[in-house]
Chains A and B, each alone.
Chain A
Amino acid sequence: MLRSSLARCQHHAIRCSPVPDSRSSSRAMFWRIVRRLITANRGRLFVILLALAAGAAITAALLNLQIDAKRRLTTEFRSFGANVIIAPKNPSTESAFADTIPLAIFSALPNRNDGRLVDKAAFLYTITNVSPADKDTGATDPQKTIHAVVVGYGYRASDIHDLVPGTTIAGDTGGRNDGVYCEAGEAVAKRLGIEVGAWIRMGGTEGRECEVTRIDRYGGPEDNQIFADLDVVDKIINPSRVDNSFRGFPAPPIFPDRVNLIQLGVPGTPESIERYIAALQKQFPDVDVHGIRQFSEAQAKIYAKISGLLTATVVLVLILTALCVMAAMTNVAMERRNDVGLMKAIGGATRRVLRLFLTEAALLGLSGGLIGAAVGIALSIGLGKAVFGVAARPRLIVYPIAVGLTIIVAIASSYPLRRLASIRPASVFRGEA
Chain B
Amino acid sequence: MFLRLVADSFTRRPRRKLLTGAALALGMAVATAALSVSLDVGDRLAQEFRSLGANLIVTPQADSLPLEIGGVDYRPANSGAYLPESDLPKLKSIFWHNNIIAFAPILEADGYLAAKQSELDAFHLGTEVPLIGTWAAQPVYLPGSGETFTTGIEKTSPWFQIEGRWFAANGGEVDRVEVRGTPGTGSGHSYVSAPAECVVGANLAKRLGIRIGDRPYVNVATMEKMASYFLCAITGILSTGGAEDNAVLLPLRVVQGYTGKPGRYRKLYVSALSKPEDNFARRDPKSMTADEFERWSCSPYVSSIAYSIQQALPGSDVRVIRRVAEGEGNILSHVRTLLWLVTFAALLAAALAVGASSAASVIERRPEIALMKALGAGRGSVGFLLAAEQLLLAVAGGGVGYAFGIILARVVGEKIFGAAPEPSLLVFVIILALAAGVTMLGSAIPLRRAAHFQPAPILRGE
Mark A residues whose CB is within 8 Å of B: 3, 51, 54-55, 58, 61-62, 65, 69, 73, 76-77, 79-81, 87, 90-91, 93-97, 125, 127, 146-149, 164-167, 187-188, 191, 217-221, 223-224, 260-261, 290-295, 297-298, 301-302, 305-306, 308-310, 312-314, 316-317, 319-321, 323-324, 327-328, 331, 334-335, 383, 386-388, 431
Contact = CB atoms under 8 A, between A and B. Distances in A.
A317 B68 contact: no
Contact of B327 (A77, A125, A147): A77
Nearest to B207: A90
A73 B331 contact: yes
Most chain A CB atoms below 10 A, which of B322, B341, B363 = B322
B447 to A, nearest CB: 15
In the A-B complex, the 9 residue pairs with the closest CB atoms: A324-B353, A331-B360, A293-B241, A221-B68, A80-B327, A93-B128, A219-B321, A79-B327, A96-B70
A61 B65 contact: no
Nearest to B72: A96
Contacts of B74: 95, 127
Contacts of A187: 65
A347 to B, nearest CB: 23
A291 B69 CA distance: 18
Contacts of B27: 320, 323-324
B390 interface: no
B65 A188 contact: yes
Contacts of B241: 290-294
A81 B353 CA distance: 45
A386 B334 CA distance: 9
A260 B71 CA distance: 14
Nearest to A314: B342
Contacts of A292: 241-242
Contact of A313 (B49, B71, B339, B363): B339
Nearest to A328: B356
Nearest to A81: B323
B220 to A, nearest CB: 16
A39 B98 CA distance: 65
27 contacts: A61-B345, A65-B338, A73-B331, A76-B330, A91-B203, A91-B246, A125-B70, A149-B69, A164-B323, A166-B322, A218-B321, A218-B323, A219-B320, A220-B322, A221-B69, A223-B319, A261-B70, A293-B159, A294-B157, A298-B52, A306-B45, A309-B339, A320-B26, A323-B27, A324-B356, A328-B356, A331-B356
Interface stretch (B140-148, B166-174, B409-417): B409-417
Contacts of B161: 293
Interface stretch (B30-38, B131-139, B181-189, B292-300): B30-38
Interface of B: 23, 26-27, 30, 33-34, 37, 41, 45, 48-49, 51-53, 56-57, 65-72, 74, 127-129, 157-159, 161, 203, 207, 240-243, 246, 282, 319-327, 330-331, 334-335, 337-339, 341-343, 345-346, 348-350, 352-353, 356-357, 360, 363-364, 408, 412, 415-417, 461-462
A317 B349 contact: yes
A327 B360 contact: yes
B342 A308 contact: no
Given A219-B323, A305-B416, A308-B416, A320 B69 contact: no
B51 A301 contact: yes
Contacts of A54: 352
A79 B346 contact: no
A93 B45 contact: no
A259 B77 CA distance: 27
Interface of B is mostly: helix
Nearest to B27: A320
B127 A93 contact: yes
A51 B352 contact: yes
Contacts of B350: 320, 324
Given A293-B240, A294-B241, A387-B337, A308 B349 contact: no
B399 to A, nearest CB: 18
B66 A224 contact: yes
Contact of A218 (B322, B338, B462): B322
A353 to B, nearest CB: 21
A293 B243 CA distance: 12
A387 B339 CA distance: 10
A230 to B, nearest CB: 15
B342 A220 contact: no
Contacts of A319: 30
B65 A301 contact: no
Given A51-B356, A97-B69, A324-B27, A219 B48 contact: no
Given A312-B415, A331-B357, A331-B363, A219 B319 contact: yes
B243 to A, nearest CB: 8
A187 B52 CA distance: 24
Contacts of A55: 349
Contact of B341 (A167, A219, A294, A387): A387
B62 to A, nearest CB: 12
B356 A317 contact: no
B342 A298 contact: no
Contacts of A334: 364
Contact of A217 (B240, B322, B348): B322
Nearest to A388: B334
A79 B30 contact: no
Given A58-B348, A149-B67, A320-B346, A327 B356 contact: yes
Contact of A219 (B207, B325, B346): B325
A310 B338 contact: yes
A62 B342 contact: yes
Contacts of A294: 52-53, 157, 159, 241-242
Contact of A317 (B34, B71, B158, B337): B34
B49 A127 contact: no
Contacts of B408: 316
Nearest to A191: B65
A165 B342 contact: no
Nearest to A338: B461
Contacts of A96: 69-72, 243
B312 to A, nearest CB: 19
B327 A320 contact: no
Contacts of B412: 309, 312-313
Given A96-B70, A301-B48, 9 more contacts: A90-B207, A221-B68, A223-B319, A309-B412, A313-B343, A320-B353, A324-B27, A335-B364, A383-B341
B322 A167 contact: yes
